[in-house]
Amino acid sequence: MKNTVFQTPVCQLKELNNLFIELTAKNCNQHCRHCYIDFPLNKNIKDFIPIDDIKAALSDTGEENIECIYLTGAEPMTHPDFNTVLRTCLKRSNVCIFTNGTFINEKKVRFLKRVQDESRFEIIFKLSIDHYDEVKNDDIRGRGSYRQAVHAVKSLVKYDFNPIICITNYYNEDKNTLINEFKRIFKKAGFDAQDNNFTINVYYDKTKNSEYDCEYKWNSLDCEYGRILTAKGVYCCPFLANDHRGRCGSDFKDFARHNALETSYCSSCMQNKEQLFGINFKLFQ
Ligand code: SF4
């Protein structure tokens, strides 16, 4: 008789290079159509990770080879102690800020440049904008979001930051067309973007019951090189932050180094081939 027992693949953490910190699970000033986070109807203003949890995580991971700390959310720049968190993390490694760009203007960038200059590490921006066409972009991310993001890019470039543009391919369009059109738009804004300035991710539609398919072959997954700290504990990746299926422990003193690839999110990751959240620094060498 044919053996029909289904075995979920298990992923082993190879090295903790990427430390994601979810500064807030729910607070964001945009509610994008494709966002994988479930937003509450009422805003919970206390939904911010305490800075002491972050300091404890940095201390508990002292022996790990952390190459980059990623500040994520919802929108991480809504955290009331964002500047302190940033300075604290910059003492340890490069820091990447995942942002929709709405809190970034020239004054803020001037300040962030000063903060970076005080550190031996770098601040990297992963800025979300989903379409080169303003109407199509704002249809996904909300009215005005396109102009705010382009303005943020302009301000960052003015102070010599080199932002990475994160595109969720909501309309499932040709990747080269997306990149070339964005290059054209950014050139007008003074940003001579290269191919490595773009990451294009597949759109995960959480409203549909996506098929789980463990037959995909991936190159690199976020859960192989990182873990995320949230106010509730440690999880295997940003997709599964605060989801019991991705739980790895309550802190970094003792956390799981393996996880089952059992969710439909995992199928999206595998289809994407490369890490969805972590930066491939080799592309910038
Ligand atoms: S969602 Fe992606 S990164 Fe997270 S556990 Fe699944 S495969 Fe790994």
**Structural domains of the chain sorted by starting position, each given as residue range(s) with its CATH number in brackets:** 10-284 (3.20.20.70)
The residue whose two tokens read 């199509």 is 136
Q: How confident is the model at residue 262, as a pLDDT?
A: 87
- The tens digit of pLDDT for each residue in 2-60 reads 555 667 889 999 999 999 999 999 888 888 888 877 766 555 556 899 999 999 999 99
93-114 pLDDT, tens digit each? 999 999 999 999 999 999 999 9
The larger pLDDT score, comparing residue 259 to residue 208, is at 259
Amino acid letter, residue 189: A
Q: Whose CA is nearest to atom 6 of ligand 1?
A: 266
How much is the pLDDT for 272? 76
Atom of ligand 1 nearest to the CA of 261: 6
CA 93 to centroid of ligand 1, rounded, Å: 24
Q: From the CA of 222, how far away is ligand 1's center (Å)?
A: 6
282 pLDDT band (50/70/90 cuts)? confident
Q: Which residues of 8-32 are buried (b: 16+ CB within 10 A; e: fewer)?
A: eeebebeebbbbbbbbbbbbbebeb
Distance 47 CA to ligand 1 centre (A): 24
Of 107, 147, 141, 103, which Cα lies nearest the Cα of 125? 103
Atom of ligand 1 nearest to the CA of 277: 3
pLDDT of residue 213: 58
Q: Kindly report, residue by residue over 187-243, the tens digit of the pLDDT.
A: 998 999 999 999 998 887 766 655 555 566 677 899 999 999 999 999 999 999 999
Tell me which residue has its CA closest to atom 7 in ligand 1.
266
Atom of ligand 1 nearest to the CA of 237: 4
pLDDT at 28: 87
Ligand 1: distance of its center to the CA of 235 in Å? 10
Instruction: Output the ligand 1 site: residues, CB below 6 A.
Output: 11, 221-223, 236-237, 239-240, 246, 259, 261, 263, 265-266, 269
Report which protein residue has its CA nearest ligand 1's atom 1. Answer: 266
Atom in ligand 1 nearest the alpha carbon of residue 263: 6
What's residue 226's pLDDT?
A: 97
**What are the tens digits of pLDDT across the range 120-179?**
999 999 999 999 999 999 999 999 999 999 999 999 999 999 999 999 999 999 999 999
Q: Are 104 and 76 in contact (CB under 8 A)?
A: no
Q: Can you give the pLDDT at residue 169?
A: 92
Q: What is the pLDDT of residue 141?
A: 94
